[in-house]
Structures are given as structure tokens and as C-alpha cells.
Amino acid sequence: MPVTPDPVAHPLDHLARFGADGAPALILREQTLTYQDLRVRIGQLASWLQQQVPERGARVASWAGKSELTCLMPLAAARAGLVHVPVNPLFKHAQVAHILADSGARLLIGNVARLSSLGAADVPASCTLVEDQSALAGAQVIAQPLPESQADPDDLAAILYTSGSTGRPKGVMLSHANLWLGAVSVAHYLALKADDVVLAVLPLAFDYGQNQLLSTWRAGGAVVPLDYLTARDVTKACARHGVTTLAAVPPLWVQLVEQDWPQEAIAPLRRLTNSGGALTVDLVAHLRRIFPGARLFPMYGLTEAFRSTFLDPELVAAHPTSMGRAIPFAEVLVIGDDGQVTQPGEEGELVHCGPLVAKGYWQDAQRTAERFRPAPAQSAYGGTAVWSGDRVVRDGDGLLYFSGRRDAMIKSAGNRISPQEVEEAALATGLVAEAVAIGVADERLGQAVHLVVRAVPGAVDAEARLPAELARELPNFMQPRAIHWRVQMPLSPNGKLDRAALARELGA
């Protein structure tokens, strides 16, 4: 393996060229696509997309579980000169309506059940709905697949919607170069090979999930997409397909270490990767015991800069709580409140510089200016950096350790949840007058959503009705673990709801 990976970016759809023609690229339930098949299918779908939406740079969204279509869309949309907007399949109509309106999507491809859940008011007049099977069928009859694109690597390729600490999901703009170099970087430091089989269990609407596809194809390996219902489904898939690489978030790892793993599932595993939250010391010990032959890669990232750090597996035993060091193409600085690079042991803000930095938030200059700011003077890259808001400490050996978050965002089961979005859903029911959502530490989820509310005076059966109303409007991962009813909400000295007091009361 070379000392450093190739830093040159190319159009994203060129990632399909790295596997041997007859080698497996995508292992679906009903069929396996070779790399030759993959290249043809991407070209066909790209041609179909271009026929539906000929305007270059237009946004096209997908909203479905893992399938041939959702796996091909990132490269097919890029080849067609379009911008892909993958929508979390767990989202419900309110979140999807916001994303369609905010992105200006011209096309939404989804499965029948999801599309039928949308009301007329949820879909902009300029957006066409197409069922995923219809889209695939239309693409596969195209005789002349679209050839590889010649896009500028700096062109916009995707918008990934992620929740912040306030407001509705915001769209992170990613270029061909962002996604290409992310794939090259991960394939390099994980040492992925052409004989690797990667089980893709994470949502493809997440950067971590989508990179399972892109980095594997960059290495010429095979991807097995899996929508699992139980942790047992994951162990069975590992055994069935001889999976060598498994990526997960901490809540899933908690479930997986509780399973009985057959030897045929354990033996092929070469590497385990984690992001979306820190692993506990006990969980690290469980993973190392169950999978003694697999290398464990703890990682840290944020959608605005893809991935920032990873911990070398050789250091996990001695430093199980460390975030590690910067990944290839990332420069990670720790900046103190005085604007200077901190000394070892001194806490500061993690600032990510380099070519993995996204292009900002879609149509949101204010929030872009808050998070994407000029790189510190000490940066070797310069340009724009992502100021993460995360507080970290670097030790004398250069290893990073997470200290805390600057914002109030809730991180549950690997999902970033905006408290305001949960609060707005509660207020919209007309049953509560005030609402505060708080993340409370939870062993399995990382944080669980707790909702503190005051009922609208005179509201009938508010306590009984609110959970059902929220179940209709919010995805499962946003549902409150507990709803706490108050006759009066605490106020801070400036007259605002005192979130800090409520957090202390709930033990957050």
C-alpha cells in the first residue's frame, strides 16, 4: 500500500471503473451485479434521469430502503450532471416535505408505501413522483447508457440533510471531490482490497452509510446492502456472505455483542468500524473478545467535513477512548478560545481543514457563515474550515480525546436530532403550550430524547393523545423515550425557558 493515497480528485461516477469486469460489485437479495453490470446500470439510470430532468445541476431525490436503485443513485445522478438528495428512509412526511421544498427537488423516486404517505401539500408543484421499480424498469430498457461524465470535481454532487441544534434539517453541499477523496481516504486507511465484502447496514442518506458504497467500489470490492430488522439479521448476513468489513454505530454494536455469533460469521471478518458516537471501554473489550481476528477502527466525523479522525487499531487497547488522529486529506487543529493552537492537555475546539470540507449549507448563508469560517492562520491548507463546535483535547502523542459538545444537539442511535424539530412537532399538535426536548444519557442509544411539556389550558386528554400524535409526525428515532408534564416551566433570568435547569433535573 502506498505511503499516502492519490490526492487527485475525479468525477464521482468514475468510481465504478475500479473493479474487474466479472468481479462482484453489488450483492442484492435477488441478484449480484458485477462491475461490468454496475457500469452499464449506472449509465442506463443516468440516461433515464437526464431524460426526466434535463436541467444540469437540478436536484433529484431518492426515498427508499436499500436496493439497486438507491445504491446506484449517487453515481448515476452525478453522471447525469444532477445533484442527488438522498432522504433518510426513516423520515416521515413532514421532514420529506421540508427537504423537497428546501432543495427544490425536481424528482422524487421512492417506493410505493413511502410515496403514498405524502399528501398533496407535501410535494411542490415542480416535483414529480416516480416509483422506484418504474424508474429501474425505464432505465433498463435504454440501449445507449450515458458514458462517464467529465464533470469538474468541484461541481456540486450531493446534498445530505442533517439536523443541527436548532431548526429543521439543513442541507450539506458535497462536491464530486469531497465524495471522491472521502472514498479514497477510507479505502486507504482501512486497507480495503478487491476481495473484501462490506455489509452496508447504515442508511445511505448518511455520509458514513454512503461511504460504505463509495470506498468499497474504490477498492474494487463487493457491497451487500442490508435493511435489517433485528441484530440477528446482521449476524446471519455476515455468515451467509462471508462479510469481511462491518460498519456500525454504538447502539447497534451494543445489540450485536449480545448475539450468539457463529464461527462462520466471525472467521471472515477483517475489520470493524465505528462512528456516530464513542465506544465505551466495556464495549471495546466485548468487540475485541468476540472478534479477535478483526481490526477495530474507532472514527469521528461530521457531515460538514465527512470524516476527521480514526484511531489506529494497534492503539485501541491502550487508548480505547481516543478519537485518534486525522485521516488522509484531513487537517485537524485544536483551537483555544484565544484563537491559538492549544498545548497538549489543553481543551479547545476541533477545527477541520482541507479538501474534505463541504461547500456549505444549501441556500443558508447565515448558518454557513457560522460553521464554515476561514481556517486558522496555523493551517497548512488555509481556505475554509469547519469549526465543529466539539471540544477536544490532544495529548502529548497527538491523540485526540472528545470533551463535549458546544451545542444542544441530541445524538441518539447514531442520529443527529434537532431539539427544536421535536419541540415544533409537539407544539403543532395544539395540545401543548411549551415544549423542551433534551438528550438524556442512555446506555443503548447514547442519548434518549426526553420531552418536557406544559399542556394548553383546557386541552382534552392531552397526556393520552400526545404520544400518538408524535408517532404520526416524527420518525421512530425522534420519538421521546419519556414525556414529562409540568404545570409551570422554569425560566432563565432573561425570561427564556431554562433548558439547563430542566437538563439538570432530568440528569442529562
Mean pLDDT score, 284-303: 95
Using DSSP, state whether 362 is helix, strand or coil.
Answer: coil
Domain 410-506 has CATH 3.30.300.30: yes
Tell me the sheet residues that pair with 247: 273
DSSP β-bridge partners for residue 347:
393
pLDDT tens sequence across 321-354: 999 999 999 999 999 999 999 999 999 999 999 9
Q: What are phi and psi of 124, to 5 degrees?
A: -60, 150
CA-wise closest residue to 279 among 251, 242, 306, 237? 251
pLDDT-based confidence at residue 357 (cuts at 50, 70, 90): very high
Mean pLDDT, rounded, for 122-135: 98
Banded pLDDT at 493 (limits 50, 70, 90): low
pLDDT at 2: 42
Whether the predicted pLDDT of 405 surpasses 90: no
pLDDT tens, position by position, 212-267:
999 999 999 999 999 999 999 999 999 999 999 999 988 889 889 999 999 999 99
pLDDT reading at 1 higher than 70: no
Is domain 31-151 annotated with CATH 3.40.50.10490?
no
Single pTM value for the model: 0.89
31-151 and 410-506 agree in CATH topology: no
Question: Where exactly are the structural domains of the chain?
Answer: 31-151, 410-506
Give the tens place of pLDDT for each residue, 187-213: 999 999 999 999 999 999 999 999 999
What's the CA gap between 274 and 309, in Å, rounded? Answer: 11
Q: Give the pLDDT mean for 472-487.
A: 95
Q: What is the mean pLDDT of residues 107-122?
A: 97
φ, ψ for residue 109, nearest 5 deg: -105, 125
pLDDT tens digit sequence for 423-447: 989 999 999 989 999 999 998 899 9
Kindly give, in sequence order, each residue whose CB lies less than 8 Å from that of residue 65, ignoring residues fewer than 6 positions away.
89, 111, 227
The answer, yes or no, to whether residue 278 has pLDDT greater than 90, is no
Q: What is the pLDDT of residues 14-29, one digit of tens each?
A: 999 999 999 999 999 9
- How much is the pLDDT for 508? 75
In angstroms, the CA 413 to CA 142 distance is 41
| Burial grade of 464 (CB within 10 A; 0-12, 13-18, 19 or more) | exposed
Would you tell me how many other CB atoms lie within 10 Å of the CB of residue 484? 14
Candidate from 79-88, 101-110, 201-210, 492-501 with smallest mean pLDDT: 492-501
pLDDT bracket for residue 494 (50, 70, 90):
low
Portion of the chain with pLDDT greater than 90, in percent: 87
Are 218 and 190 contacting, i.e. CB atoms less than 8 angstroms apart?
no
pLDDT digits (tens, 9 = 90+) for 77-92: 999 999 999 999 988 9
Measured between alpha carbons, how far is residue 116 from residues 67, 88, 408, 431 in Å?
19, 16, 34, 27
Strands 245-248 vs 222-225: parallel, antiparallel or unpaired: unpaired
In whole angstroms, what is the distance from residue 331 CA to residue 342 CA? 15
